Amino acid sequence: MKRAAVYMRVSSLDQRPETQLHDLRQMAAQRGYEIVQEYVDRVSGAKARRPGLDQMMADARRGRFDIVLVWASDRIARSVKHFLEVLDELNRLNIEFVSFREQIDTGGPLGRAIVVIIGAVAELERNLIVERVRAGMRRARLEGTHIGRIPLDVDREAIYHDRCQGRSLREIAKGHRISTATVQRVLRKRPAQVPVQELAKIA
């Protein structure tokens, strides 16, 4: 017997999930599923925070059920993008998704085809996001905006001088408010006029 989780969402505190629950329990009984957990959120569809859905996804990652039952696809997600993300993750966890109203069942051939399409759309979306980020970084560089960490402004000559005076790496780092690793990198790039023996014992 497959273990099923039921997820329900009602859009306000005035609505009750009993209608959804009746249909889903009846469907589970007809298909021979054992309902092991029921999750309910009482929020509007656009709300990002959903404690019930978050808990259900956490339990899914722990392998506590094999199937997710919902009354309608728009009950489980706040947007098409969010729905694709949820379905994609359930598919990666080998958890079937069944929607009562749309008759979507990812356990069947048509449902598996839908998952493949959804997976392709989700991958395309991820690739488009990466490409948009890269394009933005290229544009920023062309406009002269620095990308990445700001280079440290260190007084190399002073560091060379301090080391030649016999100060330790720790003392130099503390005096210049930089890490000892940065001091080591600076000393390794010593100018030719500074004798190697003067900068001995860098490590």
Contact between residue 93 and residue 58 where contact means Cβ atoms under 8 Å apart = no
Contact between residue 160 and residue 187 where contact means Cβ atoms under 8 Å apart = yes
Same domain, 115 and 68: yes
Q: Tell me, what CATH number does 30's domain have?
A: 3.40.50.1390
Longest dimension (CA), the chain: 87
Same domain, 27 and 115: yes
131 domain residue, yes or no: no
11 is catalytic: yes
Residue 195 confidence (pLDDT) above 90: no
H or E element at residue 36: strand 34-42
pLDDT at 202: 47
**From CA 88, how far away is CA 31, in angstroms rounded?**
24
Mark which of 98, 123, 148 sits at the end of a domain: 123
Mean pLDDT of 175-201: 70
pLDDT at 118: 66
Residue 159 confidence (pLDDT) above 80: yes
**From CA 160, how far away is CA 202, in angstroms rounded?**
11
> Average pLDDT, whole number, for the chain?
80
Catalytic member of 11, 99, 168, 179 = 11
Higher pLDDT, 108 or 26: 26
Same domain, 106 and 18: yes
**From CA 85, how far away is CA 125, in angstroms rounded?**
10
Higher pLDDT, 52 or 42: 52
**Host domain of residue 187:** 156-199
Mean pLDDT of 60-66: 95
Q: What is the pLDDT of residues 95-104, one digit of tens each?
A: 999 989 878 8
The predicted model scores a pTM of 0.55
Same domain, 109 and 181: no
Q: How many domains is the chain built from?
A: 2
Contact between residue 30 and residue 4 where contact means Cβ atoms under 8 Å apart = no
Tokens of 118: 């959804």
Q: What is the pLDDT of residues 115-158, one digit of tens each?
A: 677 667 767 777 888 888 888 888 877 877 766 665 666 778 88
pLDDT at 25: 93
Tokens of 11: 């859009």
Same domain, 96 and 19: yes
Mark which of 63, 98, 123 sits at the end of a domain: 123
**From CA 55, how far away is CA 180, in angstroms rounded?**
45
pLDDT at 150: 58
69: which strand partners? 6, 98
Tokens of 188: 């390794």
Residue 35 burial (C-beta neighbours within 10 Å; 0-12, 13-18, 19+): middle
